[in-house]
Structure 1
Amino acid sequence: MPPAQCFLSVFENEIHETIVSSRLFQRGERVAIGASGGKDSTVLASVLKTLNERHDYGLDLVLLSIDEGIKGYRDDSLETVKRNATQYGMPLEIVGYDQLYGWTMDQVVAQVGKKGNCTYCGVFRRQALDRGASKLGIKHVVTGHNADDVAETVMMNLLRGDLPRLARATSIVTSSAASETKRSKPLKYAYEKEIVLYAHHKKLDYFSTECIYSPEAFRGSARTLIKDLEKIRPSSILDIVKSGEDMAALVPSELSSSVSCGAAGDEEGNGCGTRNTTGGSMAQMERDLAANEAAADRETEIELTPEARTDSRPKTSAPKIHDKKPKGRRKIVKQVMGQCERCGYLSSQKICKACSLLEGLNKSRPRNNIEVGIEDEEGSTTLMRQVADLVISAG
């Protein structure tokens, strides 16, 4: 067998093993593939089509694309997705930010600038995928996140000190009772290099231009760090992914209740493709740390009585066993996934992040359009006369 064909076969078998061992799909299930036109989603669509036919998964595959409204980038990549839909014989649904939120990313960047704009885009895209799936009546969305992406997310959450989010980021399947839509990452353990090689040898049609707004993203810094680590230690990427999985085991069960394996996990919760072998010891460590923290809270300050003093220092400066209460371990903020009170979509707060960001954008949006009805004609004429007087005065 030629080397290229051998590689393609090995890659497809590894993805099949991930799907089967994690029990990602159910026969007859409709699955939406988050398609951006890039290499990851294009490879995901191609390999799922191949495996679905080869192993008879019985899946109904649909391409779901999000149009963020970035001229010179997303409009070109969507043309690639449209060609993919024809090449793979899959239906395509495109959902735009403008129709969902009333804003395009070009408008958002014009409003907030290029720093922090990726926060808006990421929050909006995650919810847009759920909305698009709901529109299609689909309850399972697969994304093209690979091992490099997961490692970057782990690193970003570590740098932020966001342990609760770590559990969701490292799980191959995420779902919540507050949402009908679950997500999975079939390419979770595939290196980015492998995906590029697969696309090359299969001669896949994909869009390779980077988003014009992404150079300012925090993820880019994490990516650079991980690439430098990989040069020194080639296994760094999967090592970081595995470390993230193990650290996620530290999260108490109520914090990770939004992460569910469905049919993927076994009775001891070691499924979801996390390959967790240290869950018991980590849980014990968490209990020990909690006990130590509780003991620290019970410690009291002891002040010597006047009779016990042997020096002439005033009472206020008496020696103490603890000058300050010892600081305990940083408490983990509990997160309970529910539904946003405004839009009804998944959120860990009363108001989801998407609605909060939209509120800020809409408050600062100038109101330039003045619509005048028949009943307002007289008032508008008066306004026009006042404006004319201002112009004459200015002249």
Structure 2
Amino acid sequence: MAPALCAICENARALVKRPKNGQKLCKACFITIFEEEIHHTITTTKLFSPGDRIAIGASGGKDSTVLASVLKTLNERYNYGLDLVLLSIDEGIKGYRDDSLETVKRNAIQYDMELKIVGYDELYGWTMDQVVETIGKKGNCTYCGVFRRQALDRGAKMLGIKHVVTGHNADDVAETILMNLLRGDLPRLARSTSIVTGDESSEVRRSKPLKYAYEKEIVLYALHKKLDYFSTECIYSPEAFRGSARTLIKSLERIRPSAILDIVRSGEDMAKLVPAEVTGISHCKSQKVSLSSADGEEEGAGGCGSNGRSSGGEMAEMEKKLQEDEEASSREFDVASITPRKANGQRHDRIGGRNGLKKDPGRKLTRQTLGTCKNCGYMSSQDICKACMLLEGLNKNRPKMEIEVDVEDEESSTLRRRMEGLALAAG
């Protein structure tokens, strides 16, 4: 049987079968298409402006290494005008992070980029090895996740940078959507589905240029480009709740390869139903500034949340329909409370009222207002940020951090006790 030819150039032998859609491509066409899809995501969602200084969250793994390589390539190919810097977080995990940081150091030389490394011990006085020794392996990813997000932002501020890009891919986003659905946390689901966290007024924005790229295709790209990356998984991550979500996502992908992007799109659609005053963001609000449109792309093509394959027309129609649905008054009522009409044509709700349409008070969603932590001064929607809450529990039997909490209101006190309870339960 003759070897299959590339579906794009129809000349070279096909070496890659895309996990996303099963398309058979040669090595060169696959690399080009992968890069062009990332370029399409960047331009249609208007992630950058010429002259921006961008910090790439670099862990040494496949995602961040591919992100650094692709951004360097696209920056030179399309003249983005970006100043790219590598920012790494040293969580203090012996046998894992210390080895992966050696990869990051090599990448910094290979890509000719400045490298900044910030450690947990420097910021918090604790390494993750010490945290795990104190609380055990259950719940340790909660600590690391909170610390790491804050460390990225604080590291960027040290560099005078207001925009951090991370290597989160479509699989990661789908896992996060599933986790927040299982938790019933719609405000967080809405924020996590956005390709950008924060806006021009934020001290530090975070974005995900690889949001629509499959993990398997990222691995294929790294393989065919012969990129230098670290492939060992974190020694503490098997205990994470995310691991269960990942297993389910991979099972769904085997049955239906498009399931990952389907979940991402569904999460985006659900996010639009959550009020902006609750999430603290407005749809597409953080994507105002664009690169030069000299690349020939029609401005706004693909719309907010484009997956890099849409021409934009069908997405615009879908968004218009969703907007109409959101404004429909029927969305304010509890469908479950409606019973069939009685013989006299009147409706009765479950309580027995006449009219039948009973307004659903629903669960109260807390309004998110961004401020600063009274302890460390880091941006937070609470008076005391989550990192300081966790540190207070860890430091109970150790000297306090340099800055003490001056005032603690009732809401912060409640949150503190809750976080301490979680820490004790984790132990």
Q: Normalising by structure 1, report the TM-score.
A: 0.80
Question: CA contact under 8 A between 2:63 and 2:169: conserved in structure 1?
Answer: yes
What per-residue deviation string (whole Å, max 9, x for no partner) do you get for residues 33-72 of structure 1?
0000000000000000000001110100000000000000
Distance 1:326 1:179 in 2: 37
Deviation at 1:166, TM superposition (A): 1.0
Distance 2:280 2:135 in 1: 34
Specify the alignment match of 1:362 in structure 2.
395
Specify the alignment match of 2:346 in structure 1.
none
Distance 1:281 1:123 in 2: 37
Specify the alignment match of 1:280 in structure 2.
323
What per-residue deviation string (whole Å, max 9, x for no partner) do you get for residues 122-179 of structure 1?
0000000000000000000000000000000000000000000111111111105773
Distance 1:171 1:326 in 2: 30
Unpaired stretches in structure 1, ≥5 consecutive residues: 297-319, 368-395
Deviation at 1:288, TM superposition (A): 3.2
Aligned-partner SS, 1:49: helix
Distance 1:338 1:82 in 2: 35
1:283 counterpart letter in structure 2: E
1:206 aligned onto 2:248: no
Specify the alignment match of 1:381 in structure 2.
none
Deviation at 1:326, TM superposition (A): 9.7
Deviation at 1:330, TM superposition (A): 2.7
Distance 2:60 2:182 in 1: 30
2:370 counterpart letter in structure 1: M
Deviation at 1:328, TM superposition (A): 4.5
1:261 aligned onto 2:278: no
Distance 2:217 2:243 in 1: 20
2:322 counterpart letter in structure 1: G
Relative to structure 1, the CA distance from residue 279 to residue 109 in structure 2 (aligned partners, 3 Å threshold; closer, same or farther) is same
Deviation at 1:256, TM superposition (A): 2.9
Going by fraction, where is helix more abundant, 1 or 2? 1
1:91 aligned onto 2:114: yes
Specify the alignment match of 1:239 in structure 2.
262
Distance 1:162 1:97 in 2: 28
Question: CA contact under 8 A between 2:268 and 2:305: conserved in structure 1?
Answer: no
Specify the alignment match of 2:166 in structure 1.
143
Specify the alignment match of 2:36 in structure 1.
13
Aligned-partner SS, 2:203: strand
1:29 aligned onto 2:71: no
Deviation at 1:289, TM superposition (A): 3.6
Deviation at 1:84, TM superposition (A): 0.3
Specify the alignment match of 1:248 in structure 2.
271
1:99 counterpart letter in structure 2: E
1:284 counterpart letter in structure 2: E
Specify the alignment match of 2:304 in structure 1.
271
What per-residue deviation string (whole Å, max 9, x for no partner) do you get for residues 339-380 of structure 1?
22222222221111111001111014489xxxxxxxxxxxxx
1:330 counterpart letter in structure 2: R
Deviation at 1:262, TM superposition (A): 3.5
Deviation at 1:321, TM superposition (A): 4.2
Unpaired stretches in structure 2, ≥5 consecutive residues: 1-10, 13-25, 291-298, 308-314, 338-350, 401-427
- Cα RMSD for the two superposed structures: 2.4
Specify the alignment match of 2:386 in structure 1.
353
- Larger Rg belongs to: 1
Specify the alignment match of 1:370 in structure 2.
none
Deviation at 1:282, TM superposition (A): 4.2
1:154 equivalent among 162, 171, 177: 177
Distance 1:210 1:221 in 2: 15
Aligned-partner SS, 2:121: helix
What per-residue deviation string (whole Å, max 9, x for no partner) do you get for residues 241-283 of structure 1?
000000001111212333542316999xx63548562431442
Distance 2:245 2:397 in 1: 32
Question: CA contact under 8 A between 2:200 and 2:286: conserved in structure 1?
Answer: no
1:357 counterpart letter in structure 2: L
Specify the alignment match of 1:315 in structure 2.
none
Specify the alignment match of 1:182 in structure 2.
205
Aligned-partner SS, 2:390: helix
Relative to structure 1, the CA distance from residue 177 to residue 14 in structure 2 (aligned partners, 3 Å threshold; closer, same or farther) is closer
Q: Normalising by structure 2, report the TM-score.
A: 0.74
1:57 aligned onto 2:80: yes
Aligned-partner SS, 2:278: coil
What per-residue deviation string (whole Å, max 9, x for no partner) do you get for residues 301-350 of structure 1?
xxxxxxxxxxxxxxxxxxx848xx99753332322222222222222211
Distance 1:136 1:155 in 2: 34
Relative to structure 1, the CA distance from residue 228 to residue 264 in structure 2 (aligned partners, 3 Å threshold; closer, same or farther) is farther
Question: How many residues are treated as equivalent by the alignment?
Answer: 337
1:172 equivalent among 190, 195, 211: 195
Specify the alignment match of 1:335 in structure 2.
368
